[in-house]
Homo-oligomer: A and B are copies of this chain.
Amino acid sequence: MNTRETPQGAARVTMIDIARHAGVSKSTVSLVLQGSPLVKAETREKVVAAIEALGYVYNRGAANLRGQRSNIVGMVINDLANPFFAELAVGIERVFHAAGYIPFIANTIENPKRQGEVLRSMSEHDIAGLIICPARGTRPSDIETMAQLGVPVVLAMRRLAGPRYSSVTPDNLRGARRATEHLLALGHRRIAFFGGYSDMIAQNDRCGGYQAALVAAGIAVDPMLIIEGPPNRECGQNAIGHVLDMAVPPTAALCFNDVVAFGVLTGLERRGLAAGRDFALVGFDDVAEARHTNPPLTTVHVDTGALGERAAHQVLRMIHGDARPEEFVSDVDLVVRASCGAATGREA
């Protein structure tokens, strides 16, 4: 069972071995490893040479046990297969790596039970901080457990009702509002909203922005046009099929995110329809693939990588003792491509 031995059967080499080999005490070796200025250059060199010679590898588990500090952080993502979250993870990992931290990763696939398991596992490993995109159905108490343990927590992409946690989110409300206004300006009057669930704050914000734009334009919100569902391709495909079968179908839709919009694209295609020509479609997130779809997707651009970096910086700040929570909301832009029909000059 993975008894830490080299194939040669030699036991792990420890600081004690280094000390012996260099003719100093283990304390001195420790000092050298920590880059302490208390040790004489000459001694340091001897130690470094011994480390080199014996192929020593530092045991952070032991150090952490005694020193009560860890360089492990947790990264809990609700859907890593969604390119949006992958980009987020990349941003997070980038700054953690630069700061000397190493992240655990867990993909909860929107499953609170699974999320609970990984959170427990991570706390057993004494993580120094945590970035989490909470799965749908996460209760604040699930997160609170972590905070109680003294682990700095930053929520990414999804805030949570209840206690004030640090968070990092795009400006969902404004983005959705702008996108909807764009469709309105294009002459659409029956506009649908696809994807997400009303118990997710992000969906609330995006759907709220959509509704606000409608109301501001004097258009009543039609609940029949708000189709909830998981934020994935399938949902988009089902939703478009559903609304097109209505007596008075919508002529446009804003999607909860790009992935849902990709599903809509497929659904339209199946019916021989094309976005931009027969139906105006707008996504949200602007993942890298959005510009390559057929037709290219009009969507709300989110600077995902930067958002991830921001989240990591926030955790780092909290690890270094600054406990103040910070709710960061990043600005967003509508990027107009062909799927909304604007590029083709279509007006109604």
Q: Identify the A interface with B (CB < 8 A).
A: 1-7, 55, 57-62, 64-65, 68-70, 72, 75, 80-81, 83, 86-87, 89-90, 93-94, 97, 102-107, 114, 117-118, 120-126, 128-129, 147-150, 233, 262, 265-266, 288-289, 291-296, 319-321
Contact = CB atoms under 8 A, between A and B. Distances in A.
A122 B150 contact: no
B150 A262 contact: no
Contact of A106 (B102, B107, B295): B102
A86 B75 contact: no
Contacts of A114: 97
15 contacts: A1-B319, A2-B69, A2-B70, A2-B150, A2-B319, A4-B68, A4-B149, A6-B148, A57-B120, A59-B124, A59-B126, A61-B70, A65-B65, A80-B89, A104-B104
B289 A265 contact: no
A5 B75 CA distance: 21
A149 B6 contact: yes
Contacts of A57: 120, 123-124, 149
B69 A3 contact: yes
Nearest to A86: B86
A68 B3 CA distance: 6
Contacts of A97: 106-107, 114, 117-118
Copies of this polypeptide in the complex: 2
Contacts of A118: 97, 102
A150 B294 contact: no
Contacts of A126: 4, 59-61
A1 B321 contact: yes
Contacts of A233: 288
Given A81-B288, A319-B2, A106 B123 contact: no
A65 B62 contact: yes
A149 B6 CA distance: 5
A34 to B, nearest CB: 13
Q: Nearest 7 pairs between A and B by C-beta?
A: A294-B294, A105-B105, A86-B86, A289-B289, A60-B124, A58-B124, A61-B61
Contact of A93 (B4, B58, B80, B102): B80
A102 B81 contact: no
Given A6-B148, A6-B149, A97-B117, 7 more contacts: A1-B320, A7-B150, A57-B124, A61-B126, A72-B104, A81-B87, A233-B288
Contacts of A288: 81, 233
Nearest to A104: B102
A123 to B, nearest CB: 5
A262 B289 CA distance: 8
Given A7-B148, A123-B57, A83 B289 contact: yes
A288 B80 CA distance: 13
